[in-house]
Amino acid sequence: MNLQQLLRLPRYLGALGPPRRRWWSPSLDTIASVGSWRGQSSRSPAYWNQVVSEAEKIVGYPTSFMSLRCLLSDELSNIAMQVRKLVGTQHPLLTTASQRSLAEITELIHTALLVHRGIVNLNELQSSDGPLKDMQFGNKIAILSGDFLLANACNGLALLQNTKVVELLASALMDLVQGAYHENSTSAKETYITDDIGISTWKEKTFLSHGALLAKSCQAAMELAKHDAEVQDMAFQYGKHMAMSHKINSDLQPFIKEKTSDSMTFNLNSAPVVLHQEFLGRDLWIKQIREAQEKGILDYAKLRETIKAGKGVTSAIDLCRYHGNKALAALESFPPSEARSALENIVFAVTRFS
What separation in angstroms does the CA of 197 have from each of 69, 112, 137, 203, 276?
A: 42, 29, 37, 10, 11
Task: Return d(Cα 98, Cα 5) in angstroms, integer.
Answer: 19
Contact of 120 with 135, CB cutoff 8 Å = yes
pLDDT tens per residue across all 354 residues of the chain: 455 555 566 666 666 655 544 333 333 333 233 333 344 555 566 777 777 777 767 766 555 544 444 444 444 444 444 444 444 455 454 455 577 788 888 888 888 888 888 788 888 777 777 788 888 888 888 888 888 888 988 988 898 889 999 999 999 999 998 988 887 765 444 455 666 788 999 999 999 998 999 999 999 989 988 889 999 999 999 999 999 999 999 999 999 887 767 667 888 889 999 999 999 998 999 899 989 888 778 889 999 999 999 999 999 999 999 999 999 999 998 888 888 888 899 899 899 886
Task: Return d(Cα 330, Cα 58) in angstroms, integer.
Answer: 20
Of 243, 245, 272, which Cα lies nearest the Cα of 257? Answer: 272
Contact of 304 with 263, CB cutoff 8 Å = no
Spell out a b/e string for 306-322, using b for 16 or more CB atoms within 10 Å of the CB, else e.
bbeebebbebbbebbbe
Of 130, 226, 211, 150, which Cα lies nearest the Cα of 176? Answer: 211
